[in-house]
Structure 1
Amino acid sequence: MAIKLSGLGAQNPWWRGGHWEEEDVDLKDIDVLLNRKKIEIKKGEVYLFRGIRRAGKTVYIKSIIKELIGKIDGRKILYLSCDRYHRGETKNTIKEFIKRSHGEVVILDEITYLDDWHLILKELAETTDLTILATGSNPLKIKEKGERLPGRKIEGNEYFIGPLSFRDFLSNLINLNGKIKNPDIFNAVRKIKKFKSFQPTSPDINEEVPYFDEIDSLFYSYLLTGGFPSVINEYLKNGRIDERSYEMIVRMFLGALSKEGKNEEIGRELMERMLSLGTSRTDFHTIGSDIGVHHNTVKEYVELLENSRMIYLLPAWDLSRKRYAPRKQKKFIFQSSFLSSSLYVYLTGGKYEDALDFLDKNLESIIEQTASSHLIWAYEKPLIRERHSFAGFYYDKKECDFLLHENMKWHGFEVKYGKVEREKYPFPVFYLTKDTFSEDSYPVSLFLAGLEKSEKSI
Structure 2
Amino acid sequence: MALRRKIEQDIRAYLSSDSNKMMIIDGARQVGKSFIIRQVGKELFPNYIEINMEADKLGDRIFAEAKTVKDFYLALSVVAGDRMKDRANTLVFIDEIQAYNHLLTLVKFLMSDRRFTFIASGSLLGVTLKKTQSIPIGSIIREHMYPLDFEEFLWANGVGEPLIQAMKESYENRRSLPESIHTKLMSLFRSYLLTGGMPDAVNTFLSTQNIVETRQIQTDIHELYGDDAAKYEQESARKLQIMRIYRMIPSNMENKKKRIVAKDIEGKQGKRMTDYLDEFEYLISSGVALEVKAISKPSYPLVQNSGKNLLKLYLNDVGLLTDVLYGTNIMPILKDIASINLGSVYESVVAQELRAHGHGLFYYDNKKLGEVDYLIDDQQHLSVVPIEVKSGKDYKVHSALDRFLSISEYNIHQAFVLSNERRIYQEQGITYLPIYDIIFL
TM normalised by structure 1 equals 0.73
Say what the alpha-carbon RMSD is for the aligned residues. 3.2
Segment of structure 1 superposing worse, 208-217 or 55-64? 208-217
> 2-side partners of 1:50 and 1:204: how far apart?
36
- Which one-letter code corresponds to 1:448 in the other structure? I
Q: 1:392: which partner in 2?
A: 362
> 2-side partners of 1:209 and 1:367: how far apart?
23
> 2-side partners of 1:411 and 1:160: how far apart?
24
Say if 2:84 is the partner of 1:101.
Answer: yes
Say if 2:113 is the partner of 1:130.
Answer: no
SS in 2 for 1:78: strand
Q: Deviations over 1:298-331 (max 9, x none)?
A: 4332221111112222111142675335375222
- Which one-letter code corresponds to 1:326 in the other structure? G
Q: 2:322: which partner in 1?
A: 341
Q: Deviations over 1:10-38 (max 9, x none)?
A: xxxxxxxxxxxxxxxxxxxxxx1101122
The question of whether the paired residues in 2 share the 8 Å contact of 1:110 and 1:136 is answered with: yes
Identity of aligned residues (%): 19
The question of whether the paired residues in 2 share the 8 Å contact of 1:403 and 1:410 is answered with: yes
Say if 2:285 is the partner of 1:315.
Answer: no
Q: 2:253: which partner in 1?
A: 278
Q: Deviations over 1:147-176 (max 9, x none)?
A: 82262x53xx3211110100111022226x
Cα offset, 1:221, TM superposition: 0.7
Say if 2:354 is the partner of 1:375.
Answer: yes
Say if 2:427 is the partner of 1:441.
Answer: no
> 1-side partners of 2:173 and 2:100: how far apart?
46
* Residues 108 and 272 of structure 1: CA distance in aligned 2, closer, same or farther (over 3 Å): closer
* Residues 119 and 147 of structure 1: CA distance in aligned 2, closer, same or farther (over 3 Å): closer
The question of whether the paired residues in 1 share the 8 Å contact of 2:284 and 2:290 is answered with: yes
Say if 2:89 is the partner of 1:110.
Answer: no
The question of whether the paired residues in 2 share the 8 Å contact of 1:394 and 1:403 is answered with: yes
> 2-side partners of 1:235 and 1:170: how far apart?
14
Q: 1:365 aligned to 331, 341, 344, which one?
A: 344
SS in 1 for 2:312: strand
> 2-side partners of 1:240 and 1:313: how far apart?
31
* Residues 34 and 321 of structure 1: CA distance in aligned 2, closer, same or farther (over 3 Å): closer
Segment of structure 1 superposing worse, 281-290 or 233-242? 281-290
Q: 1:22: which partner in 2?
A: none
Q: Deviations over 1:407-428 (max 9, x none)?
A: 2211000012231124231434
Segment of structure 1 superposing worse, 139-148 or 392-401? 139-148
The question of whether the paired residues in 1 share the 8 Å contact of 2:97 and 2:121 is answered with: yes
The question of whether the paired residues in 2 share the 8 Å contact of 1:281 and 1:329 is answered with: no
TM normalised by structure 2 equals 0.76
Q: Deviations over 1:243-275 (max 9, x none)?
A: 530332123222322122355654454334322
Say if 2:162 is the partner of 1:162.
Answer: no
- 1:270-309 equivalences under 5 Å are 270-278=245-253, 280-288=257-265, 290=267, 294-295=271-272, 296-309=274-287
Q: 2:69: which partner in 1?
A: none
> 2-side partners of 1:209 and 1:145: how far apart?
54
> 2-side partners of 1:197 and 1:133: how far apart?
35
* Residues 136 and 362 of structure 1: CA distance in aligned 2, closer, same or farther (over 3 Å): farther
> 1-side partners of 2:266 and 2:137: how far apart?
44
The question of whether the paired residues in 1 share the 8 Å contact of 2:250 and 2:315 is answered with: no
Say if 2:26 is the partner of 1:50.
Answer: yes
Say if 2:383 is the partner of 1:409.
Answer: yes
Q: 2:52: which partner in 1?
A: 81
The question of whether the paired residues in 1 share the 8 Å contact of 2:49 and 2:83 is answered with: no
The question of whether the paired residues in 2 share the 8 Å contact of 1:55 and 1:228 is answered with: yes
Long gaps (5+) in structure 2 = 57-62, 67-71
The question of whether the paired residues in 2 share the 8 Å contact of 1:43 and 1:130 is answered with: no
The question of whether the paired residues in 2 share the 8 Å contact of 1:51 and 1:136 is answered with: yes
SS in 2 for 1:43: coil
Q: Deviations over 1:72-126 (max 9, x none)?
A: xx2x321111123233365423367689732432110111111312122122112
The question of whether the paired residues in 1 share the 8 Å contact of 2:362 and 2:375 is answered with: yes
> 2-side partners of 1:344 and 1:146: how far apart?
41
Say if 2:200 is the partner of 1:227.
Answer: no
SS in 1 for 2:65: helix
The question of whether the paired residues in 1 share the 8 Å contact of 2:42 and 2:48 is answered with: no
Q: How many residues align?
A: 380
Q: 1:184: which partner in 2?
A: none
SS in 2 for 1:352: coil
> 1-side partners of 2:184 and 2:167: how far apart?
18
SS in 2 for 1:333: strand
- Which one-letter code corresponds to 2:253 in the other structure? G
Q: 2:5 aligned to 36, 49, 52, which one?
A: 36
The question of whether the paired residues in 2 share the 8 Å contact of 1:367 and 1:415 is answered with: yes
Say if 2:221 is the partner of 1:249.
Answer: yes
Q: 1:330: which partner in 2?
A: 311
> 2-side partners of 1:222 and 1:117: how far apart?
37
The question of whether the paired residues in 2 share the 8 Å contact of 1:44 and 1:130 is answered with: no
The question of whether the paired residues in 1 share the 8 Å contact of 2:192 and 2:319 is answered with: no
